[in-house]
Amino acid sequence: MTVDDTGSGADADGRVDPPPPSPSHEPGDSHDADSGEDPLALRLEQLILGAERRYTPFQAARSAGVSMELASRFWRAMGFADIGQAKALTEADVLALRRLAGLVEAGLLSEAMAVQVARSTGQTTARLAEWQIDSFLEGLTEPPEPGMTRTEVTYPIVELLLPELEEFLVYVWRRQLAASAGRVVQAADDEEMVDRRLAVGFADLVGFTRLTRRMEEEELGELVEAFETTAADLVAARGGRLIKTLGDEVLYVADDAGTAAEIALRLIETMANDETMPELRVGMAFGTVTTRMGDVFGTTVNLASRLTSIAPRDAVLVDSAFAEELIRTGEATASEAEAAEAAAAAEKEGKEPPVYRFALRPMWQRPVRGLGVVEPWLLNRRDGTTAS
């Protein structure tokens, strides 16, 4: 929930967005927020938030010791809906607001950074909450016996799940925070903490638009879920990071080109072995990437996306910088002739010949919208190698 600059306010707890106010409560309406609301919705809200409604937005801001302007910025950033001057906020809302403001007052965060923290947390948890209610919780609360309503089983299920899910959420967050912090401190210099050199990959289902016309909505949803699950598992298992899913497309990054290449080829191979899935194509680029709030931006990202759109079916295209990075790290060779020369030189010196994981083949140069002329390379496993 959020407030407007005239004094409307919202729940700042940041864990679960409570049910919206009655339609009769427009922003600025001073009627009690409880009137006309479903009793079960109110009971669930109190159970989840752990407190009763006590404050209007103005009262919550005053109790937290912050201005309405700052309270409005924080609540909006968390993505909560306007409630006017309804008494719909709890002690937890006041505490959350006080904590954010305290970080700013102590100089640990700038006001702008505190707003970013609120926004990133709100956006992430909002998606998580929607998924849990729509998929997980809804399935569990299906009435087990004829004549029973979902209302009769929802409350006890939520009561049992809430503490377990809360602890699990904190555990996963700490794990992800530790991994992210580790990557940052290993950066070569301060500039790499924001603008880093990463391998960026887009994987795209071929012919998805045509599928949307032929398949039932439920079938289409199952296909997208299967694709996203497969991609997420493969990216995580091989050491990449899934940035986001866009239905028929996933965006991921890796710290090195070899990891990104392995993920791409595994995606192609896995999808090709599943008769229920469409063909896949992948585009990848290597270079400087700007990271912000868990997302990635910049020319490298745009180039990877453009390469995906021109990649052949069940194939991986990479840009020249990506190819050069694989060659530099000894993961690939520019041609079989070079591989043969390297093997001969190693044999002459009595050393083991180099083993290349990947094969690269230059494709025709072509103009790419907004990026000029690029030279894509086709990426494959090298003959005689297998998935690592």
Q: Give CA separation, 233 vs 81, 177, 292, 309, 353, in Å.
A: 34, 19, 23, 23, 34
Same domain for 175 and 319?
no
State the pLDDT at residue 188. Answer: 53
State the pLDDT at residue 25. Answer: 35
Last residue of a domain, one of 141, 169, 191: 191
State the pLDDT at residue 13. Answer: 41
Q: Is the pLDDT of residue 137 over 80?
A: no
Q: Is the pLDDT of residue 171 over 70?
A: yes
Domain span at 155: 149-191
Same domain for 58 and 203?
no
State the pLDDT at residue 145. Answer: 72
Q: How far apart are CA 117 and CA 97, in angstroms?
A: 12
State the pLDDT at residue 223. Answer: 85
Assigned domain for 1 exists: no
Last residue of a domain, one of 173, 191, 209: 191
Assigned domain for 22 exists: no
DSSP line for 151-171: HHHHHHHHHHHHHHHHHHHHH
Q: Give CA separation, 385 vs 269, 283, 354, in Å.
A: 14, 22, 12
Q: How far apart are CA 57 and CA 80, in angstroms?
A: 12
Same domain for 209 and 233?
yes
State the pLDDT at residue 35. Answer: 53
Same domain for 266 and 330?
yes
Same domain for 282 and 205?
yes
Taking each helix axis from N to C end, the angle separating 111-131 and 68-77, rounded to the nearest 10 degrees, works out to 40
Least confident of 18-22, 258-262, 276-280: 18-22
State the pLDDT at residue 299. Answer: 92
Burial status of residue 253 (CB atoms within 10 A of its CB: 0-12, 13-18, 19 or more): buried
Tell me the average pLDDT across 279-297.
90
Last residue of a domain, one of 171, 191, 211: 191
Strands 315-318 and 377-381: antiparallel
Tell me the average pLDDT across 361-372.
82
User: Is the pTM above the cut of 0.85?
Assistant: no
Count of domains in the chain? 3
State the pLDDT at residue 23. Answer: 32
Name the residue among 76, 127, 70, 123 with its Cα closest to residue 99: 70
Same domain for 267 and 376?
yes
State the pLDDT at residue 371. Answer: 80
Same domain for 208 and 295?
yes
Assigned domain for 161 exists: yes
Same domain for 125 and 180?
no
Name the residue among 284, 314, 291, 287 with its Cα closest to residue 299: 287
State the pLDDT at residue 93. Answer: 92
Q: Is the pLDDT of residue 152 over 80?
A: no
Assigned domain for 287 exists: yes
Q: Which residue has the higher pLDDT, 352 or 376?
A: 376
Same domain for 266 and 300?
yes
Same domain for 216 and 319?
yes
Tell me the average pLDDT across 33-57.
81
Name the band, by pLDDT with cuts 50, 70 and 90, for residue 351: confident
Q: How far apart are CA 26 and CA 21, in angstroms?
A: 9
State the pLDDT at residue 376. Answer: 93
Same domain for 112 and 203?
no
Assigned domain for 35 exists: no
Same domain for 157 and 114?
no
Q: Is the pLDDT of residue 59 over 80?
A: yes
pLDDT in tens, 183-229: 777 665 555 455 679 999 999 998 877 777 777 777 888 888 888 88
Helix/strand/coil for 88: coil
Name the band, by pLDDT with cuts 50, 70 and 90, for residue 83: confident
Q: Is the pLDDT of residue 261 over 90?
A: yes
Tell me the average pLDDT across 134-161.
75
> What CATH number is attached to the domain comprising 309?
3.30.70.1230
Tell me the average pLDDT across 63-91.
87
Residue 299 has a CB neighbour count (10 Å cut-off) of 14
pLDDT in tens, 92-115: 999 999 999 999 999 999 999 899
State the pLDDT at residue 339. Answer: 73
**Cβ–Cβ < 8 Å for 371, 299:** yes
Name the average pLDDT for the chain: 81
Assigned domain for 25 exists: no
Q: How far apart are CA 293 and CA 309, in angstroms?
A: 26
Q: Is the pLDDT of residue 347 over 80?
A: no
Name the band, by pLDDT with cuts 50, 70 and 90, for residue 5: very low
